[in-house]
C-alpha cells in the first residue's frame, strides 16, 4: 500500500535523476571528462549519497528524533519534573462561585466584559503600531531606521 512517504520518495528520486543529469552537464565540459576514473567515481559517490539521503531520509530523521526524545525523557525523569500533578481550585472557592446568584453575578460580568474589551483594544493598538512601523520602514527607501 502506498503512503505519502512513498509518493515523496518517488518524486525525490525523479528530481534526483534530473538534477544529477544537470549537474553532470554543468561539471563536465565534454564526454572525455567522464572517461577519467576519478571524475566518474566522484560523480558516482555524489549520486549514491544523494540517493541514500532521499531513500533513507525519513528513517534517519525518525531515528534522530527517537534518540533526542529518549535523552529528553531521561533528563526530565532524573530531574524529578515528570511527577507533576494537575492544579485544581480549592473546594471552598468552587462552592462560593456556584453559590453566586444572578444579581450578584452582574458585576462579575461587567468586569469580564470590560477586561475583554481592554485586551482587544490593546491588541489592535499593538498590531497597528507594529504594521505602521513596518510600512513606514518599507515606504521610505534609503533612510535608516531610527
For residue range 27-64, what is the model confidence (pLDDT) as tens digits?
Answer: 887 778 778 888 888 889 999 999 998 889 888 899 99
Q: Is residue 144 part of a domain?
A: no
> Region 116-145: what's the mean pLDDT?
84
Residue 124 binned pLDDT confidence (cut-offs 50, 70, 90):
very high
Residues 9 and 75 in one domain: yes
Residues 70 and 27 in one domain: yes
CB burial of 79-94 (b: ≥16 within 10 Å; e: otherwise) equals eeeeeeeeeeeeeeee
Contact indicator for 39, 73 with CB cutoff of 8 Å: no
Residues 8 and 60 in one domain: yes
Residues 75 and 95 in one domain: no
Residue 65 binned pLDDT confidence (cut-offs 50, 70, 90):
very high
Domain of residue 117: give its range: 91-139
Residues 39 and 62 in one domain: yes
Residue 112 binned pLDDT confidence (cut-offs 50, 70, 90):
very high
What does the chain look like in DSSP terms, one character per residue?
A: ---HHHHHHHHHHHHHHHHHHHHHHHH-SSHHHHHSHHHHHHHHHHHHHHHHHHHHHHHHHHHHHHHHHHHHHHHHHHHT-TT-------HHHHHHHHT--HHHHHHHHHHHHHHHHHHHHHHHHHHHHHHHHHHHHHHSTTPPP-
Q: Is residue 113 part of a domain?
A: yes
Contact indicator for 55, 8 with CB cutoff of 8 Å: no
pLDDT the model gives residue 137: 75
How is residue 116 written as a grid cell?
Answer: 475583554
For residue 34, the tally of other CB atoms under 10 A from its CB is 13
Residues 112 and 70 in one domain: no
pTM surpassing 0.85? no
pLDDT the model gives residue 141: 64
Amino acid at each position: 500500500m502506498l503512503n505519502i512517504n512513498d509518493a515523496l520518495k518517488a518524486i525525490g528520486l525523479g528530481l534526483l535523476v534530473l538534477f544529477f543529469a544537470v549537474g553532470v552537464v554543468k561539471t563536465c565540459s565534454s564526454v572525455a571528462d567522464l572517461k577519467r576514473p576519478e571524475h566518474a567515481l566522484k560523480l558516482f559517490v555524489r549520486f549514491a549519497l544523494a540517493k541514500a539521503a532521499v531513500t533513507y531520509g525519513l528513517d534517519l530523521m525518525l531515528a534522530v528524533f527517537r534518540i533526542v526524545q529518549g535523552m529528553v525523557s531521561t533528563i526530565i525523569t532524573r530531574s524529578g519534573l515528570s511527577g507533576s500533578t494537575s492544579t485544581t481550585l480549592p473546594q471552598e472557592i468552587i462552592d462560593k462561585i456556584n453559590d453566586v446568584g444572578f444579581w450578584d453575578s452582574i458585576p462579575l460580568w461587567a468586569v469580564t466584559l470590560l477586561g475583554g474589551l481592554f485586551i482587544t483594544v490593546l491588541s489592535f493598538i499593538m498590531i497597528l503600531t507594529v504594521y505602521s512601523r513596518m510600512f513606514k520602514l518599507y515606504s521610505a527607501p534609503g533612510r535608516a531606521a531610527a
